Structure 1
């Protein structure tokens, strides 16, 4: 008996139950990563006192050294590779998944300009390989286990089950229904655990409220500028990744990228971490009227994110791109009197993330639930402009001819080097 074509009650129950387990594991992993990050930086503050620059450089260099050691044990995988391989958890290389989880935990703990998604997904993937080996009687069950694990983990972390299900494409079908069910189960499990640990906090984004419905023509300009920032990230990532791919010794790539990132973080400390908690600092700069600092931070964050991704600092792009777009929106809000700060930042973060991540629908579904105040219209403007920009760019690539037109952009579901995997091999 089948509820839908290809979806049996057995698979549906499996997806929901395992999605909930994955959400709980994601919450435990995220809490552990956050706690370790606090320990690392609090210890550094005690050791270095008021010398913040020395603390930043030393901590990041130590993180890079640990990443080199882990890479010597086994090359790690990027987030996109883990998501693509989730359909075959039994075939995942366990050693590589383990080193990916450890590398992602190190990246978050030592201040990498990346999100914690890679570590969360890697830990769940490691669990999926074990569960698939124990109860995966056939291909359909093993695939359900792998995909439900990723959907449950990201559905909980992003706070958006539909957004997690849309990450690998927006085509509806039996697999998508199972992923959606797993995403909801993971979301509720993640939320329940986070409410038991209020000091950790989830991934909610807090912005100044705006009057509804709110529209200002300047929001379109913000969306265009923020979308261009997303394109800058994609282009810079492509160029640097192509350059470092010629270096045959991974430790050189990790070491060089770490040194450059440490120097950049010493100059602009706000480029550290995923950018989620640092959104508050952007609001402070916006309210202070420091538009130039906001633009400097946005550009520096693009460089920091790119350096981390190509040099083996494993993590996700979502929250760093949100941070970049919010900085651009805040800068424009300072320059345009009367423009609502919340709407400007929401529009910017939606446009930059949708272009840089190349997933407009997933970005909209995630942000519309992640932002803790109603921001539907500004988010729609940002994602709408980003969709048009992505369409124009893809058409331009399709008509440019040559081998470059066939390459996938960094961050896309089909990219083999979305987070710099070629650089760290």
Structure 2
């Protein structure tokens, strides 16, 4: 007898009532505002220190601000300073940063001051890492500690989710990135209720984090590139080729990551690993120039303001040097994230493609290059799409990127990630 397929269909998950979601708004707001202030405070302090170290100080010493000598001195000094923090400050600035992604573990409160200090020194000194991973980790630890004491009846797993979403909202100036990351994290996990019910509290935290950052520091990711013209088949083909090529280039760094990490960790002590990393970064900076220093956001904007200002060879050198600097900084123990420097690598790669083939529109080349590089480095599909699209002011860019992401994702999925297990083997 034929079975009734309608009766066999599983019932849909019930929607949570409003009274079940309303109590999460106040904790989400508190975490969102606090996470944003931690991010803005650490970033502002690092920017002020960077201005001093790379401006008045070399001027007073009669040394060129971005001379080869000063870049070597500053990157070595940064390695020594961060090495001292990792060695001597309680908590040792957290676990090996090569083992941590965006989903940070909950660290004890005693670890957090050293982690934030090491991050600020790194941001000011010039290594090619961003603030995202350590600031997320600091906010996760702070939220779990304070939330567990002030609201002990609240589920403990809520605080890390709120802190991660709030920090992502603060970093990008919009809660959309937080919602996308949380959605991706929920994939394959058992959920109670509808997806939107599970996103409600993190999305609220991301919104409060984004609003606070916007009110305090007015962030923007949009680049001053020539506007994307009407998209045609040639643009689609160029985006697919550039994104796939960028993903393959990024996978070269991912493949090398465990070997470079092992080489630095054979030195065993942070006062050897980090200064050695600083010396290598100094050599890379001498090769690539000042634009290959720091996390890369202001440098990306400088590239975008004049996409015709460098030759294809210069863009290629900046691409390779910045990717190598990201690889070294992430391997030798500097505390930092990989998203922002990967954006610079992808931008330089896309502009190199435009310089080689003028038919590749700069906006399409940059967006596709950033997409492919982020897919390889982060393995976060939604974040890669969102970040690449956020750089370009064009309604047509998202459809272009969705198509370009398909072959690029096939090149990276199932392969090692730029993150290691504690035993040094790559995460897959």
Q: What is the RMSD of the two structures over their aligned residues, measured on CA atoms?
A: 3.0
Matches of 1:283 and 1:96, distance apart in 2? 38
Mapped to 2, the partners of 1:385 and 1:150 lie a distance apart of 29
Deviations 1:275-304 (Å, cap 9, x if unpaired)? Answer: 111114434674035001111111111110
Task: Determine the structure 2 residue equivalent to 1:240.
Answer: 260
Answer yes or no: is 1:49 the counterpart of 2:66: no
Please list the CA deviations of residues 52-83 of structure 1 after superposition, one character each: whole Å capped at 9, or x if unmatched. Answer: 11111111111111011101124223387485
* Moved segments of 4+, more than 6 Å: none
1:237 touches 1:310 (CA, 8 Å); kept in 2? yes
Return closer, same or farther for 1:33/1:129 CA change in 2, 3 Å cut-off. Answer: farther
TM-score relative to the length of structure 1 = 0.83
Q: In 2, distance between residues paired with 1:279 and 1:69? A: 31
Q: Residue 340 of structure 2: which of 308, 313, 319 is its match? A: 319
In the alignment, is residue 410 of structure 1 matched against residue 418 of structure 2? yes
Cα 1:185–1:308 shift into 2, 3 Å:
same
Q: Matches of residues 255-274 of structure 1 in structure 2 within 5 Å?
A: 255-269=275-289, 270-274=291-295
Query: Which stretches in structure 1 are left out of the alignment for 5+ residues?
Result: 196-200, 398-407
- SS of the residue corresponding to residue 231 of structure 1 reads helix
Whether 2:22 is the aligned partner of 1:9: answer yes
Structure 1 equivalent of residue 122 of structure 2: 107
Gap runs ≥5 in structure 2: 1-14, 188-194
Partner of 2:299: 278
Q: How many pairs align?
A: 394
Q: Which moved more, 1:33-42 or 1:65-74?
A: 33-42
Partner of residue 152, structure 2? 137
Residue in structure 2 matched with residue 26 of structure 1 by the alignment: 39
* 8 A Cα contact 2:251 2:377, kept in partner: yes
Say if 1:360 and 1:386, in contact at 8 Å, map to a contact too: no
SS of 2:186 mapped into structure 1: coil
Partner of 2:3: none
User: Counterparts of 1:316 and 1:421 in 2: how far apart (Å)?
Assistant: 19
Distance 1:249 1:265, change over 3 A: same
Select the structure of larger CA radius of gyration: 2
Q: Does 1:162 align with 2:176?
A: yes
1:195-344 equivalences in 2 (<5 Å): 195=218, 201-215=219-233, 216=235, 217-269=237-289, 270-283=291-304, 286-288=307-309, 290-344=311-365
Cα distance in 2 for residues equivalent to 1:212 and 1:57: 46
Q: CA–CA distance in 1 between the matches of 2:422 and 2:62?
A: 37
Q: 2:384 aligns with which of 335, 360, 363?
A: 363
Cα distance change, pair 54–146 in 1 and its aligned pair in 2 (3 A)? same
Aligned residue number for residue 93 of structure 2: 76
Check the 8 A contact 1:76/1:421 in 2, yes or no.
Answer: no
In 2, Cα distance between equivalents of 1:236 and 1:131: 39
